[in-house]
Structure 1
């Protein structure tokens, strides 16, 4: 019998943007990733095959409390909302980060896209929230050629309103459809969509409708990034702030109080809910729950 290697890595499987196990978006968290090479992190992400795996290590720049990196099964990415919520949930639940019922805990994470401020709200012991502060973003309409190519890959009509735009934060494309039926019936050509997104430098494509399942939600969405190894993401936190910002700029949230809720993942059996607050600096918020923990051998 082969003896397991010494010093295994502790790993956690966490469902984010939900308080129910087997819902939301799953992420694997490696809280002690110091010393792992880029190749090892990519191999681990490929092995566990979640949409993203989060690796936590000591910070290497001033002003950061720790370093956080995210890998899909294929590539390292600049920003990931659900894996950040999952990572902070693990650090709080294991006692690495001390929280208080009396005040908020603010952390600064070193990431590939810069310093990411995160607020942990544990003032309600039954429902802790993790909030990521993101920069404002701008929107650029697609060219007619880009728009026609994208809509063809999605199997949509050549006319959608408002016209598709790409955001400056993640380079995600936002595409509107009229209703939930059109959204759920969507069957993209993932091969063509992946080629187009890669050629254009887009991270992913968010197709959304303001027709929602729940009366308190402002939009229901689906997110595709096949060239990154994610055919369809169950719940995508990082696209939520750009989407709500775009809806606000288009005047479609007048009279709606912040924070607002976005729906995603219901068609995949992994319903999740993301909150977005644009009252001051744009923030996205979510909860998480641990599903499994174990040891990983290198």
Structure 2
């Protein structure tokens, strides 16, 4: 029997967040079983395995119903939170091996029943799409250039490539519609794993709102996407929408799904040069299941 912890990650004021099944002791699970769990629950799922060498403390694997993922921000945070609250975390700073590369997790145990987790992401790369690629994105979302800010559509990546689409308003953002097949075809053509339209919620408070339409996860939209929010933070920096400092950037996501979620990003710098970021958020325990 395998115990599965269900958590909601990136909750906003105790609600919303992205549901995530977590298996803390997954060393005996074959890949087919991991994918089966993700398919059963219909969400990104995280699996914790012992490290293979001294370069890491744990190996994390991530699955969606259709395939294995290189990295999943909310599943990483959810797994660390679940481990910490059940007394199974070795330290408050841990090294994690993922298919996209090493990740460091920081767990603030000031409140042991509700620790706050942040994880590292590498410096983001942001590249503007060509006009032809932009037209594919606009067609996929049934919008025109008039619906966008005077900024480029960009592919951005820390761990997985996301396409940043600068909407003129939160209202326009939350009226968007998508089709899974069209989204997948568009993402395939532009080398992306998801369309991530965003809008300014409160510029002064560095608060933004976004939605994610994933390429091929097996569902049409995500309530909270940490890896996309981390990529967005570097897009905001490149586009001059945030200053080059380490103050908190807040990304709200999931409003259109009635599951408003909150993602926190803090950019890191060496002098004036960005070197990475910390991605964090709140977690709520939902329940336990056996498989």
* TM-score greater than 0.5 by the shorter chain: yes
Tell me the distance in 2 between the aligned counterparts of 1:156 and 1:62.
50
Root-mean-square deviation (CA, aligned residues, Å) is 2.1
Tell me the distance in 2 between the aligned counterparts of 1:288 and 1:19.
9
Q: Which of 90, 114, 133 is the equivalent residue of 2:101?
A: 114
User: Contact conserved, 2:223 with 2:254, CA < 8 A, in 1?
Assistant: yes
In structure 2, relative to structure 1, the CA distance for the partners of 1:179 and 1:123 (3 Å cut) is same
Q: Indicate whether 1:240 and 2:235 are aligned.
A: no
Q: Which residue does the alignment assign to 2:272? A: none
Q: Which consecutive residues of structure 2, in runs of 5 or more, have no partner in the other structure?
A: 270-275
Q: Which residue does the alignment assign to 1:44? A: 37
Q: Indicate whether 1:23 and 2:7 are aligned.
A: no
User: Contact conserved, 2:7 with 2:284, CA < 8 A, in 1?
Assistant: yes
Q: Which of 77, 102, 127 is the equivalent residue of 2:69?
A: 77
Q: Which consecutive residues of structure 1, in runs of 5 or more, have no partner in the other structure?
A: 1-7, 100-104
- Aligned to 1:27, what secondary structure does the other structure show? strand
Q: Which has the larger radius of gyration?
A: 1
Tell me the distance in 2 between the aligned counterparts of 1:65 and 1:193.
37
- Aligned to 2:122, what secondary structure does the other structure show? coil
Tell me the distance in 2 between the aligned counterparts of 1:32 and 1:126.
20
Q: Which has the higher strand share?
A: 2
Number of aligned residues: 282
Q: Which of 188, 191, 203 is the equivalent residue of 1:201?
A: 191
- Aligned to 1:246, what secondary structure does the other structure show? helix
Tell me the distance in 1 between the aligned counterparts of 2:56 and 2:278.
19
Bigger Cα displacement from structure 2, 28-37 vs 116-125? 116-125
Tell me the distance in 1 between the aligned counterparts of 2:199 and 2:190.
24
Q: Cα deviation per residue 1:235-293 (whole Å; 9 max; x = unaligned)?
A: 11111122111112222113876122111112212111111111344111112111010
Tell me the distance in 1 between the aligned counterparts of 2:14 and 2:277.
28
Normalised by the length of structure 2, the TM-score is 0.90
Tell me the distance in 2 between the aligned counterparts of 1:204 and 1:174.
9
